[in-house]
Amino acid sequence: MTVLELRATWFLLGLLLVFVLSNEPRFVWHLVAGLPWLIGCGLLLPARTAAAIANVSKRLLADRGVRVALLVLGILAVAVAQIFTVAGALTIVTSCLVLAGILAAVGRFTVLRTMIVGVTASSVTIALTLLVLELVLRTEGISTRLGFPSEIIAWEDRYDRLWEENVHRFRSHHEDVRKRSGVFRVLALGDSFTWGDKIADSDSTWPAILEERLALEVGAGRVEVISMAQRGYTTANEAELLQRLGWEFDPDMVVIQFFANDALPSFPNFRRVGGEWLCPQHGLVPVRFRTSLVQSSAVVALMERQYNALRSPEPCYLQFDRLYEESSSTWGEFQAAVGLIADSARSRHTPVLFVLFPFLAPGEWTADSHPLQPVHERVASVAEKEGFSLLDLAAHFATAGGDWQRWWATAYDSHPNGAAQQLVAAAIARSILENEILARPPQNHPGKP
């Protein structure tokens, strides 16, 4: 093998090492594989080239300014390894070394020195700017208003964690499938709007409030509203939960809360896709470099939010109507899920109340003008055909008047706040009372198929 062939082989080996180690987070393996390869590169260099690189390197290291710059760059490289990954930092360092080696090989001392000092100054300026911006964006006033990752993470500590005490992981005080004699039971199925996203106290969610309101009519301890809601669930997931567990509670009534994204593709065992299926979100940082620090960064979140807004300026909720197009598979899956709920409810002679929850879009809306009204009409026709009682909450929010954004849980999150939860509970309680469902004797047939 000639020297030229050996050099080419060594270069290809380096590319192979980069590929193999690209997803290896442990620094030691990069060191074990990379250091011998770099030493080999030095040995395979032509004598003239090696001498030129050695001469330029000696002059650079004799320069105090360059030594300081290299020290700062080393510190920045360690910071990059901590923030992103070791592989990311090594990729940057290796690229810089290759460029520096080429310049040194052709004797461009002045260019190389200027580049090292300039890159260092620019890197420090950018790093300090990003650090200050990150600290500013993480301040309570800004983070809680714009909903950056630190604020979202903090919310998990604000909840009362009631679901951790429930054997079924429901956000409910009720967990015993055995129903006490004379107790009227309501099952509440839904997604985060029923679960109570951004509602810290479980007793402030509409199922808990509904129980209090109904208890005023039938007496304390005579009614149970069991919230089986789960964040992110679709109507198909709710139908599966009702079949697997819900009927075991022997309910006297089932309330299904609907939101316009509930027809997203769903699969057995409560699997489903998220909203990104309709509105893809593009990250500026590759997945393999998205460490926990990157995920929690307010700067990254802000940049990616603006980037996605430029790519798709239309709000995501305006895409929901695509789920209900006649030719779409999602519309067929949704109708099948509604049919499954209806068939099982009919076999048990259990009434179902189908509650349509509107998107609380900023602005003043009427029941006929809110953005997703066509979706509500299409879904309502299916629910009514299956014999469900129907409650469209859009009319109640419209009657209350004002900008619908006042019902948001936070300045950045359109989930219903405490006042909206009260409105919803009042509307559902009124519907139940007007239909005289409470006047019926409680059911007691847990063994019915």
pLDDT score of 190: 98
pLDDT score of 436: 80
pLDDT score of 23: 65
Residue owning tokens 């080696």: 101
Decide if 420 contacts 407 (C-beta within 8 A). Answer: yes
User: What would the pLDDT profile of 195-247 be if each residue is shown by its tens digit?
Assistant: 999 999 999 999 999 999 999 988 888 999 999 999 999 999 999 999 999 99
Pairwise pLDDT comparison (350 vs 88), residue with the higher score: 350
**Taking Cα atoms as reference points, which of 176, 229, 226 lies closest to residue 199?**
229
CA angle 412/416/418 to nearest 5° reads 110
SS3 173: coil
Name the H helices within 264-372: 292-295, 298-311, 329-347
Q: Which whole number is the average pLDDT over 312-328? A: 92
Whole-Å CA distances, 277 to 265, 305, 309, 315, 372: 9, 17, 16, 14, 18
User: What would the pLDDT profile of 165-183 be if each residue is shown by its tens digit?
Assistant: 999 999 999 999 999 999 9
Distance separating alpha carbons of residues 411 and 416, to the nearest angstrom? 11
User: What would the pLDDT profile of 138-158 be if each residue is shown by its tens digit?
Assistant: 998 999 999 999 999 999 999
pTM of the full predicted structure? Answer: 0.82
Which two structure tokens, joined as six digits, stand for 303? 């940049």
Q: Which of 65-79, 81-95, 100-114, 430-444 has the highest average model confidence (pLDDT)?
A: 65-79
Where does 67-195 show beta strands of DSSP type E?
184-189
Which two structure tokens, joined as six digits, stand for 186? 């309501």
H/E element, 20: helix 3-21
Which two structure tokens, joined as six digits, stand for 75? 């510190």
Distance separating alpha carbons of residues 257 and 244, to the nearest angstrom? 18
pLDDT band at 448 (very low <50, low <70, confident <90, very high): very low
pLDDT band at 313 (very low <50, low <70, confident <90, very high): confident
Residue 445 has pLDDT above 90, yes or no: no
- Mean residue pLDDT of the chain comes to 90
Phi, psi of 237 (to 5 degrees): -65, -40
Decide if 287 contacts 351 (C-beta within 8 A). Answer: no
H/E element, 58: helix 47-61
Task: Please provide the DSSP assignment of 189-211 as one string.
Answer: E-SHHHHTTT---GGGSHHHHHH
Distance separating alpha carbons of residues 83 and 87, to the nearest angstrom? 11
SS3 227: strand
Q: Which whole number is the average pLDDT over 309-334? A: 93
pLDDT score of 45: 64
